Amino acid sequence: MELELPEPIGILAEGDISTLKIVCTDIRFQIGEILIIKPLKGRRVFLFRVMNYENILRNIQDMSTIAANFLKNREAYIARVESEKLVKVHGLLMGYSEYNSETESWDFRKPRVLPPHFSEVFRGSECSEALSLILKDEIGEHIEVGKLLIGTSTLDIPIRIDLDSLPMHVQVAGTTGAGKSFFMLTFITSALKNNLINWAKQEDIRNKVSVFMVDVHDEYMRGLPFKDKRKGIIDIANSIPKGEKDQFKALFGDKFYLTRELDAIPTEMQKYSKAIRFRREDLFVSDITSVMLVSDQMVGFMNRARGIQDDWVTKIEELDESENLGFATGTVNAVRRRLYPIIKSQIFTADEYSDLAEIIYNLEQGHFYNFSTALLTSSEQFVVITMVARTLFSLRQALMSSTKWNQFKEQVYSKLPKKIASELLGESSNSKYSIKDLYLEDKDQMKTVDKLPIIMVTVEEAPSILGSQMSKEGNIFIDISRQGRKFRIGLLLITQNISSMEPIILANTNTELNMMLGNEIEVRQAIINASNNISGYENEFKVLSRGEAILTNSLRNIPLPVKVSNVPLYIEEELPFFKKPFEKLKIQRTKTKSTEIPI
């Protein structure tokens, strides 16, 4: 297949596998531009990334002498010099793409060979269609994050993260104002669209993406503003026609906006909102100790209390000051002070009601949750995320080690607190959200984990619970970072400080979206941690603007520059699809038997 390319702007001059030098007649260049290098013969096309450039004059060695003469006698030199202007461009060879006549597509490979002498050079920003073909294997298929960025030009080439990469974890890093929230809302919108396509086409549920999204600033639901527009998840929910319950349930649980109390919620959000409550008995000691700094003595005391009473938090709350359960005097008071945010919490109660089973049930069906933490303390926020992540991880661990229902049931009781285990297994009077039918393949045979949806758990302010100071036995996020891939559970880590993150977490993260970073330390850490080789990108990090990022992925050959979508415009463009998915997909709607479990 012959690529449609404009007039060449330069010629390859010299270089090696790591760097090239190109001489160009067009002197308009920007750091980060992508150039296409096409040999005069053959089916290989090379990509080159501009890292630096310099002005030169053809046939003239000393530009300073010319400049001095030009300064004194402009008219005499102007005609001569104008025709001599050239640019020498320095940069990295990204790789090459070779046309495969059998598949009729372009296969991209890492830079193992050099382009031949005097190959022609073309400006990538003028070759949008050609770049789409060359980079087809690199730009992804599923969850959109933005468009391809070349210098300051944004091409209409969507950049996506593939589903297979999600359980291998995604890290989003950037300073305040870099555009992390715009990325997150783009990610949510694209994941919801993916799930609606899955439902409309009646595809396997394994291709759906559940998202437990932490909304620290209460902005994803209401939307992010841009000039006179504001669009968010509520606009997507409202776009679904009334009466289309199956279509709504393909995306959301009954109430998907989780908050501490309903009184603070705007009226238009009430129909989607739920005031969450959890039993204290649903908590393990590790849910507390993995997100709070506690001494070994305190951990021992909490475990002793849990051995005495399932509701160990209430047990500690009600202990007399003299009752130290065999520990040093004053231990009970020290532990009670550490547990104060949980003891006084409005969402962790000593009664029998808990929303945990409902949340797990919906996440196992490919649904979205917006967990608003605006009214919660940081301790409450982190404990909820930890509890949800641990419960999901324990269930899928049990599933992977079981083939029959009785085996699975035994595993669940050994891994989870008794009451939440019995609710999820359908053996409690409160079992409104039993996962039995979701996990069973046929009669007594269990499904395999790869037949369940991918679940993404967001961790905002990631260093607070994933910093090196929190790296200890029992931190569920350490376990998920190491094993999440096989259980199809991924972490979506949001941070301003990569250097403060636990190295084990960073080492197991496969996809990184690095935006504007605060200082040289963060830039160096981003380069060290990147899943692709981005050494030499220091200058580009310095010129990134809001919403611009470098995307790296271990399943891809090259890093890609990305411009994150303008969220209000992006959601606005997608709303017609959420309203009429069958019409937009041009497929005939067929009635299917509902898989929802009646309550």
**154 found inside a domain:** no
Q: Is 9 exposed, middle or buried (0-12, 13-18, 19+ CB in 10 A)?
A: buried
The pLDDT of residue 419? 94
Question: Roughly what angle, to the nearest 10 degrees, separates helices 418-425 and 405-415?
Answer: 150
Please indicate, yes or no, if residue 22 is contained in any of the structural domains. Answer: yes
CA 415 to chain centre: 28
- Please report, as a single letter, which amino acid is at residue 519: N
The total number of structural domains in the chain stands at: 3
Token pair 């630096």 is at which residue? 52
Average pLDDT over residues 313-318: 93
Q: Are residues 483 and 518 in the same domain?
A: yes
Q: Evaluate whether residue 598 is within a structural domain.
A: no
Distance between CA atoms of 461 and 496, rounded to whole angstroms? 7
> Do 516 and 473 lie in a common domain?
yes
Percentage of residues in the chain with pLDDT exceeding 70?
Answer: 90
Residues 101 and 183 in one domain: no
Based on the fold, state whether residues 512 and 490 are members of the same structural domain: yes
Tell me whether residue 56 is in a domain: yes
Structure confidence at residue 597 as a pLDDT band (50, 70, 90): very low
Residue 555 and residue 204: Cα distance in Å, rounded? Answer: 23
User: Token pair of 275, please?
Assistant: 């005031």
Which residues constitute the domain of residue 454?
159-276+355-583
Task: Look at residues 567, 554, 524, 529 and name the one whose alpha carbon lies nearest to residue 542.
Answer: 524
CA triplet 117, 123, 127: central angle to 5 degrees? 115
Same domain, 392 and 520: yes
Tell me what the mean pLDDT of segment 240-253 comes to: 91
Average pLDDT, integer, range 89-97: 83
Q: Is the same domain home to 130 and 57?
A: yes
Q: Are residues 554 and 509 in the same domain?
A: yes
SS3 42: coil
Lowest mean pLDDT among 268-282, 330-344, 406-420, 458-472: 458-472
Show the tokens assigned to 259: 């908050």
Q: What is the pLDDT of residue 472?
A: 59
Are the C-beta atoms of 34 and 94 separated by less than 8 Å?
A: yes
Q: Does 106 lie in the same domain as 194?
A: no
Is the torsion defined by CA of 338, 341, 345, 347 positive or negative?
A: negative
Instruction: Please report, for the domain that includes residue 548, its CATH number.
Output: 3.40.50.300
Mean per-residue pLDDT, 482-495:
93
**CA dist., res. 468 & res. 451, Å (int):** 34
Most confident by average pLDDT, 51-55, 358-362, 554-558? 358-362
CB 512 within 8 A of CB 462: no
- Strands (DSSP E) contained in 204-272 are 209-215, 224-226, 229-231, 252-259
Please say whether the dihedral angle defined by the alpha carbons of residues 206, 207, 210 and 211, taken in this order, is positive or negative.
positive
Cα three-residue angle 13-136-236, rounded to 5 degrees: 130
Same domain, 344 and 370: no
- Does residue 596 belong to any structural domain of this protein? no
> Region 535-541: what's the mean pLDDT?
81
Which of 330, 348, 366 is the last residue before a domain boundary? 348
Q: Among 440, 444, 457, which Cα is nearest to 406's?
A: 444
Q: Which of 23-32, 137-146, 224-233 has the lowest mean pLDDT?
A: 23-32
Task: Please determine, for residue 573, whether its predicted confidence score (pLDDT) is greater than 70.
Answer: yes
DSSP 8-state class, residue 179: S
Residue 427 located in a structural domain? yes
Q: Is residue 95 part of a domain?
A: yes
Gap between the Cα atoms of 321 and 340, Å rounded: 15
- Both 323 and 399 in one domain: the answer is no
Angle at Cα 206 formed by Cα 203 and Cα 208, nearest 5°? 75
The answer to the question of residue 105 being in a domain is yes
Give the phi and the psi of residue 188 in degrees, each rounded to 5.
-60, -50
- Residue 111 and residue 46: Cα distance in Å, rounded? 8
SS3 185: helix
pLDDT, average across residues 563-576: 92
Residue found under tokens 């608003």? 372
Angle at 105 between CA 104 and CA 111, to 5 degrees: 140
pLDDT class for 2, splitting at 50, 70, 90? Answer: confident
> How confident is the model at residue 122, as a pLDDT?
87
Reply yes or no on whether the pLDDT at 190 is more than 70. yes
For the cut 80, the answer to whether the pLDDT of residue 469 exceeds it is no
d(Cα 570, Cα 143) in Å, to the nearest integer?
13
Q: Do residues 545 and 516 share a domain?
A: yes
Element (H, E) at 92: strand 85-100
Q: How far apart are CA 104 and CA 327, in angstroms?
A: 72
243 shares a domain with 196: yes
pLDDT attached to residue 497: 87
pTM tops 0.85, yes or no: yes
